[in-house]
Amino acid sequence: MWSHTWRLMLALPMGLFSGTAVYGAGIARAETTGTSNLLAEVWIVVDLAVLVVAAVLYVLRHRAPLPITGALVVLGSFSVFSAGIATLAVVSLSTRRRWGEISAVCALWFGAGLVADRALTHVFLPADMLFPPRWVLLLSVLVGMALPVVTGLFIGGRRALVASLREQAAIARREADARGDTARASERNRIAREMHDVLAHRLSLVALHAGALEYRAGLDPEQVRDTAAIVRENAHEALGELREVLGLLRDPTATDEQSRPQPTLAQVDELVDGTRAAGSPVSYVLDQVAEDDLARLPLSTSRHLYRVVQETLTNARKHAPGAPVKVRLHGAPGDRVGVEVTNRMPDHPPATPLPSSGWGLTGLAERLRLTGGELDVQRRADGTFAVQAWLPWAAGTEGQA
């Protein structure tokens, strides 16, 4: 509001100054020549009244920009006092950068100026006064019209640029917020997947052995001590792995590949032994793949395969406790490496099923997909549940599996 008010306050004194100069010169000439021009004196009063009307219209111009600006340029053509306000109105209209409106107002302004020139020149100026050539007058009128139009176009262009920059900044902020939300969601999924990978296996062993202590009342003291030792050992391992994961998550400088718990195929034997100790018969075979070749697997591939074996053994304990499980590792350098884990589906669900998040195999599939692998889960007609995973195995790669 203030930006419009100060412009009006600037235009009013300028109009009053211009009118005073023009009318003052006419009155002084009349006194010098001893003539009297009553019409000119009356017109001065009318012009002051027109100035008040023009000021009110200027304040209200935003309600109907084109009609009010047209009215102001007509008034400004006949009123010396109102010429400054009319010029400001043209500047304001031109900031909209609508060429149809600008052309219409300029045509009206030019026509009103010609009429005013013919109607008022001889009222205020003597007939014997010399005038410049007509083309000079026309050129001066065109220049006088062009200046406010160009000024308005410049102001409008600057406003559009500022608005565009603000919109771009707002879009950038929204995109940054969206990227932040995506990153946070990805981090939450990563944490959940890592927690699941690290804790599900250990805690399922703890639950199975604790259940054995609860339901097998006939265990001798030695068996109770052994089972309790297994529970304590797995709980201790789970706690240590949890601390390791949380330490990684709290350390922003730690890299994903270097700092998180990273078991590989070298630890699969320990994994199988732990599952056997929980009461599930497990066979682990290498099919058409040598241990020396497995030792040259890329570390990331070896880790992913370990996670597949870990998750499938955990699932077997949850959903088919006590059922035989077969783990088969196969593949060749230059082709791909795979692991197949199969177990018999139980005829009836376990009496005390272990809790399941339902996200283990989903997380595995996503993990493998991101590294160019595949995961296939099948319930076969013979009652076997099979999980098969494949990963690319480039020839000549070296690792520490």
Tell me the per-residue pLDDT of 235-280, one tens digit each, with 9 for 90 and over: 777 776 666 666 655 555 555 444 555 788 888 888 888 888 877 8
In the CATH hierarchy, which fold is given to the domain comprising 262-401?
Heat Shock Protein 90 (3.30.565)
Cβ–Cβ < 8 Å for 343, 385: yes
pLDDT the model gives residue 1: 46
What is the rounded distance in angstroms from the CA atom of residue 70 to the CA atom of residue 366?
68
Which tokens hold the place of 200? 């599900």
The model's confidence at residue 309, banded by pLDDT at 50, 70 and 90, is very high
pLDDT the model gives residue 136: 64
Cβ–Cβ < 8 Å for 24, 40: no
pLDDT the model gives residue 257: 47
CB burial class (10 A; 0-12, 13-18, 19+) of residue 29?
middle
Residue 285's beta-bridge partner residues?
A: 328
**Category of 397 on φ-ψ map: left (φ > 0), alpha (ψ -120 to 50) or beta:** beta
Mean pLDDT value across the chain = 77
pLDDT the model gives residue 166: 92
Comparing 10 with 183, the larger pLDDT belongs to 183
pLDDT higher than threshold 80 for residue 71: yes
Cβ–Cβ < 8 Å for 264, 400: yes
AA letter at 247 = G
Cβ–Cβ < 8 Å for 317, 354: yes
pLDDT higher than threshold 70 for residue 191: no
DSSP state letter for 34: T
Which of 225-239, 279-293, 303-317, 335-349 is least confident?
225-239
3-state helix, strand, coil in the chain (%, to 5): 70, 10, 20
Q: Which helix (H) or strand (E) holds 171?
A: helix 134-215
pLDDT higher than threshold 60 for residue 30: no
Comparing 365 with 37, the larger pLDDT belongs to 365
Q: Let me know the angle formed at the C-alpha of 182 by 179 and 188, rounded to the nearest 5 degrees.
A: 140
What is the rounded distance in angstroms from the CA atom of residue 375 to the CA atom of residue 288?
20
The model's confidence at residue 7, banded by pLDDT at 50, 70 and 90, is low
Q: Let me know the angle formed at the C-alpha of 370 by 361 and 270, rounded to the nearest 5 degrees.
A: 50
SS3 320: coil
DSSP state letter for 1: -
pLDDT the model gives residue 168: 92
What is the rounded distance in angstroms from the CA atom of residue 368 to the CA atom of residue 361?
10
The model's confidence at residue 320, banded by pLDDT at 50, 70 and 90, is confident
Count the residues in the chain: 401
AA letter at 47 = D
**Strand spans (E) along 87-195:** none
Give the model confidence (pLDDT) of 115-174 as tens digits: 877 766 655 555 555 455 666 667 777 777 888 899 889 988 998 999 999 999 999 989
Tokens 């290498």 correspond to 286
pLDDT the model gives residue 130: 47
Cβ–Cβ < 8 Å for 324, 281: yes
What is the rounded distance in angstroms from the CA atom of residue 135 to the CA atom of residue 113?
14
Q: What percent of the chain has pLDDT over 90?
A: 11
pLDDT the model gives residue 339: 94
User: Which residues lie below 8 Å from residue 142, measured CB to CB, with a gap of 6+?
Assistant: 110
> Residue 327 — φ and ψ, nearest 5°?
-115, 120
Measuring CA to CA, which residue among 108, 100, 9 is closest to residue 59? 9
CA distances, 299 to each of 254, 257, 396 (Å): 18, 9, 13
> Residue 322 — φ and ψ, nearest 5°?
85, -10
Give the model confidence (pLDDT) of 361-400 as tens digits: 777 888 788 788 999 999 988 889 999 999 988 765 555 4
State the span(s) of the chain assigned CATH 3.30.565.10: 262-401
pLDDT higher than threshold 50 for residue 345: yes
First to last CA, the chain: 74
Give the model confidence (pLDDT) of 175-185 as tens digits: 988 887 887 77
Cβ–Cβ < 8 Å for 234, 314: no
The model's confidence at residue 21, banded by pLDDT at 50, 70 and 90, is low
What is the rounded distance in angstroms from the CA atom of residue 279 to the CA atom of residue 208?
9
pLDDT the model gives residue 96: 87
What is the rounded distance in angstroms from the CA atom of residue 238 to the CA atom of residue 232?
10
pLDDT the model gives residue 2: 44
**pTM of the entire structure?**
0.44
Residue 384's beta-bridge partner residues?
A: 344
